[in-house]
Amino acid sequence: MTTAVAAPTARGVVNPHAGSASLPVQVLVLARRSIKGALSRPQGYMPAVIMPLLLLTINSSGLSDATRIPGFPADRFLDFLLVITFMQAALFATSNAGLGLARDIEEGFMDRLALTPMRTGALVTAQISGAVVIAFGAAIVYIIIGLATQVDFHSGVLGVLLLLVLATWTAFCFAAIGAWLALRSGSSEALQGIFPLLFASLFLSTLNMPRDLIEAEWFQVVTRFNPVSYMVDGMRSLIITGWDGRALLEMVAVLALVSGIGIAGCARALRRRQAQG
Amino acid sequence: MQRSSEDNGIEVRGLVKQFKTGPKAVDGIDIDVAPGEIYGFLGPNGAGKSTTVNMLVTLLPPTAGRATVAGWDISTQGPDVRKTIGAALQAVALDNFLTAREHLRLIAALQGITGPRARTRADELLHRVGLEEAADRKVGGFSGGMKRRLDLALALVHEPRVLFLDEPTTGLDPQSRTSLWEEVRRLAREDGVTVFLTTQYLEEADVLADRVGIINRGVIVAEGTPAALKAEIGAPTIEIVPTGDDDRVAMSRVLEQFGELHPEAGSPGSVAVRLDQDLAKRASLVTIIRAIDEAGLQVAEVRQHDPSLDDVFLAKTGRTLEGATDAEAGVAEPVAR
């Protein structure tokens, strides 16, 4: 196998007209583009706002009788289910970050940007940041809707603020996974093929029913191993329980783990892509 | 040619690119491009042109060999290379949801150009590529030509010292093509920018390039000025259309003394001769016409076919350049009627 011969350190012509922006500036500029791009396409943000509300409305009216089950932890199914909106917004962060990045790869825009002194990691970070900002905005809307529909946030104002932070972190996890998949596949089609699986993971969790009230044993096992359950339970606890240290700690641990996997996956896929050119 | 005191040339030594499958896309090429020179890199599809450019602009790591662009090593000093170069690659890559002006501002920001300077530079480039009126329209609605012109403007945002243009005029209308040529020429002559231009269009290389390198199957098969390469191939072919069809045999006899007859080179009813190298230096078209006249033959039309870069390519590789149109492949120019 042949290898590239490293040249002795050379010093070349310095272009007096070009420098390079710092990494934070690069990320800021590119994230602005990512948000603008997403907001200029209604199909980019409308599902993230409408779909969760639609699911919330349908499920909370259709499953309202579930509150009569002995041991059900909430008086209103709407309170119990509000968390679906945050999870859906996080799911859309996967598509916003992943599809944005996959399109940049497919259409060669990533190469166009790579011809500048930009660090390629800045583009990935920016796409993730853009998706997270949109999810953050959506989370504020859902909290306002929750307050308007008299959802009783048991953890108070501080809990609501923490809920916002956790919802944003959850969106970050999903966005990082989306970016990783985009970098791995470089194809928006491949990415779209994975969304149904992520969607299914949402409903194979404790989203619609607390674990101990699920009758099917296999379903209980699945929810135990599904990280989404811990995200759901953590955020939900702030709404219907108050300050549940265990639920919150479990959620933070899962978020840290998934973030780590997402970031490491992105970094590895990026290195691989750069090595291949 | 204006030479910069700085070394903004390109030096390539034994550059190799081997992908996982298939033969070597680039197989140990050596290239030297002087500062301020326009270097035309010719070759058919799949010859290795774009792979070479992608390595030189640091998008693709080489498998072996080394290259410096403006003195910076492409393998170890990528960020410095990218600060110095501008590149418009084969596939125009733009964000359909941004306007032309937003594109320029984005690239300027990434190049560290901000504030009023970025605004001025964007306006200047929009004017230069004729996109002032479309500046605030999303590029999704742009024509192919407009996208190409914006792509070139993006490559020029930071006033690069070396410019890589990978088939920049593909898909452009003749007017846009000519204006792009003028701009490239201006950049090299007035600003001393070194231009590395890949093209399938022979006319483009002929008109623009100070020197041409021909690549085939990853190997450079010829290099030199267009004139020198054509001269290397041989003398022109003269095609005579006699007034009467019956005169063709007699005409052939007259022309035989000037070189080898080429029945396939001329149009039906004509007689074509490729002049001998030695004779071509001495015999002019006038000499040939005089000989025809002395033989008592009447001429309806005379055409002179000068060797084209396509002939050079054919001679060096045994095949013609794909994508070359008739106009570019050295179609005869009538010289007398």
Mean pLDDT along residues A241-257: 96
- Residue A36's pLDDT band, with cuts at 50, 70 and 90, is confident
- Residue A268's pLDDT band, with cuts at 50, 70 and 90, is very high
| Domain-located, residue A15 | no
The sign of the CA dihedral B170, B54, B154, A96 is positive
Mean pLDDT along residues B121-135: 93
- Residue A5's pLDDT band, with cuts at 50, 70 and 90, is very low
| Domain-located, residue A11 | no
| Domain-located, residue A1 | no
B97/A40 CB distance under 8 A: yes
CA distance B206 to chain A (A): 28
Look up residue B246 and give its two tokens: 């019956």
Of the candidates A3, A4, A20, which has its C-beta nearest B111's C-beta? Answer: A20
Whether A40 contacts chain B with CB within 8 A: yes
pLDDT of residue B330: 37
CB B68 within 8 A of CB B21: no
A3/B71 CB distance under 8 A: no
Strands B38-42, B194-199: pairing kind: parallel
Q: Is the pLDDT of residue B308 over 50?
A: yes
- Residue A7's pLDDT band, with cuts at 50, 70 and 90, is very low
Q: Give how far the C-alpha of residue A72 lies from the chain's centroid of Cα atoms, to the nearest Å.
A: 28
B111/A18 CB distance under 8 A: yes
Tell me the average pLDDT of chain B: 84
Percentage of residues of chain A with pLDDT beyond 70: 91
| Domain-located, residue A8 | no
Tell me the average pLDDT of chain A: 87
Q: Is the pLDDT of residue B5 over 80?
A: no
Q: Is the pLDDT of residue A191 over 50?
A: yes
Q: Considering only A63-72, B231-240, B243-252, which range has the smallest mean pLDDT?
A: B231-240
pLDDT of residue B310: 77
Of the candidates A36, A107, A117, which has its C-beta nearest B82's C-beta? Answer: A117
| Domain-located, residue A6 | no
B209 or A64, greater pLDDT: B209
Total domain count, chain A: 1
pLDDT of residue B334: 38
pLDDT of residue B309: 78
pTM of the model: 0.77
pLDDT of residue B324: 40
State the virtual CA torsion across B95, B98, B104, B105 in degrees, nearest 10.
-120
Whether A156 contacts chain B with CB within 8 A: no
pLDDT of residue B142: 92
Number of helices (H), then strands (E), belonging to chain B: the values are: 12, 15
B158/A10 CB distance under 8 A: no
A2 or A138, greater pLDDT: A138
Q: Is the pLDDT of residue A81 over 80?
A: yes
Q: Is the pLDDT of residue B266 over 80?
A: no
Provide the domain limits for residue A235.
Answer: 23-63+71-276
ipTM field: 0.78
Q: Is the pLDDT of residue B336 over 80?
A: no
B-chain residues near A107 (CB < 8 A) = 93-95
| Domain-located, residue A250 | yes
| Domain-located, residue A143 | yes
DSSP class of residue A241? I
| Domain-located, residue A3 | no
Report the run of H or E that residue B232 belongs to, with start and end. helix B226-233
Closest by CA position to A112, among listed B189, B275, B86, B298 = B86
A50 or B99, greater pLDDT: B99
Rounded Cα–Cα distance for residues B214 and B220 (Å): 6
